[in-house]
Chain A
Amino acid sequence: MPSVHDNEQPKNAPDATSNPSEFSIEVISSTTATREALLQVIAGLAPIGLDPEDSETVELVLAEVLNNIVEHAYPEVGTVGAIHIRCRHLADGLHFRIRDFGNRMPDDKAPLGEMRSYDVDVEDLPEGGFGWFLIRDLAKDVHYSRIAGGNQLDLRIAVDYG
C-alpha cells in the first residue's frame, strides 16, 4: 500500500510508489476538489497511454463519484474532508478505490441509478439522477462499503491496453 501523504495543498502529480502499476492521491473536499483530483489521476495514468475514449470514461466516472462525495458525503460548508483515490492497473482494467470520511450513503447502499422516463412534458424532465446511472453504466464491479466511519467505493473500468 502506498502511503497517504500529508495535509498540504494537493500536488499536481501523484506520489511515486514502489509499484509502477499503482498510485494513490488525496485531495481535500471543496468545489474544486473534483477538478484537482481528475488532473492528478490523469497525470498518474499518463504512463499507461490510454486511448482517448478510455481516458474520457475514467474522467467521467471519477467525476461523478467525486462530485457525489463533495455534495453528499461532505455537504457542510467549511468541512475539511479528505478524499483518497487509489488506482491499480491490472490485466482486466483499472481498479479504483475511492475513500472518504463523511456521511454514509442512504441505507448504506450505493444508488442503483435508474433512469426516469423522458416521455413527459418538457417542464417535468429530470435535471439530475444521471450521475449514478453513468457510474453503473460505465464501471464494472461497483461495490460500496461503510467501513470504520468512512465510505469505500470500489470499481473497475475495463480499458483497452492496445
Chain B
Amino acid sequence: MELLVKTEGDFCTVSVQDPRIDAAVAVAFKEAVRAQTQDAPPRVILDLTKVTFIDSSGLGAIVATMKHLAPERRLLLAGLTPPVKKVFELTRMDSVFQIFLTLEDALDAERA
C-alpha cells in the first residue's frame, strides 16, 4: 500500500496512492497508515483523491485507523470520489467523520 505522507505544523497529510481500498489490501492499508502516523501531529488528513473504490473492509480499515489515532489525534477525510462518498453516505459513516470536499479545503481549514 503506497502512501504519500507530508507533515506541516499541527497536522499531517496521508495521501493514498492506490485506486482501491478493498478486502485484498485492507490489512496492509491499516498497517501502513499506522506505521506512517506513529509520530504524527494532533490531526491527520487522509487524502482519498486517488481512491475510486472502497468496500466494507476498506471502510472498516479507515474506522480502525481513526480509533487507533484517538484520542490524542483526530482523523479527517478529504477528496472522496463519488463511489467512495456513496459508501460513506449509505453506511452513515459520513456522520462520524469530518469530511472535506478536497484536500485543499482541508488544508485551508487546518492552516486558518
With A32-B24, A59-B53, A67-B57 already in contact, the answer to whether A127 and B64 are too (CB < 8 A) is yes
Min CB gap B81→A, angstroms: 10
Q: How far is the CA of A35 from the CA of B66 in the complex (A)?
A: 26
Q: How far is the CA of A56 from the CA of B86 in the complex (A)?
A: 10
Which B residues are CB-close (under 8 A) to A32? 24
A91-128 to B contact mask, C-beta < 8 Å, 1/0: 00000000000000000000000010010001101111
Secondary structure class of chain B's binding surface, majority of residues: helix
Interface assignment of B60: CB less than 8 Å from any CB of chain A? yes
Q: How far is the CA of A9 from the CA of B53 in the complex (A)?
A: 25
Which B residues are CB-close (under 8 A) to A53? 82
Q: How far is the CA of A99 from the CA of B92 in the complex (A)?
A: 30
Which B residues are CB-close (under 8 A) to A128? 56, 60
The answer to whether B60 touches A63, judged by C-beta atoms less than 8 angstroms apart, is no
Which one of A16-24, A129-137, A145-153, A154-162 is at the B interface?
A129-137
**Could you show 23 A-B contacts with beta carbons less than 8 Å apart?**
A31-B23, A35-B20, A56-B83, A56-B86, A60-B53, A60-B55, A63-B23, A63-B53, A63-B55, A64-B56, A67-B56, A67-B57, A118-B92, A122-B66, A123-B67, A125-B63, A126-B60, A127-B60, A127-B67, A128-B60, A131-B56, A131-B57, A133-B56
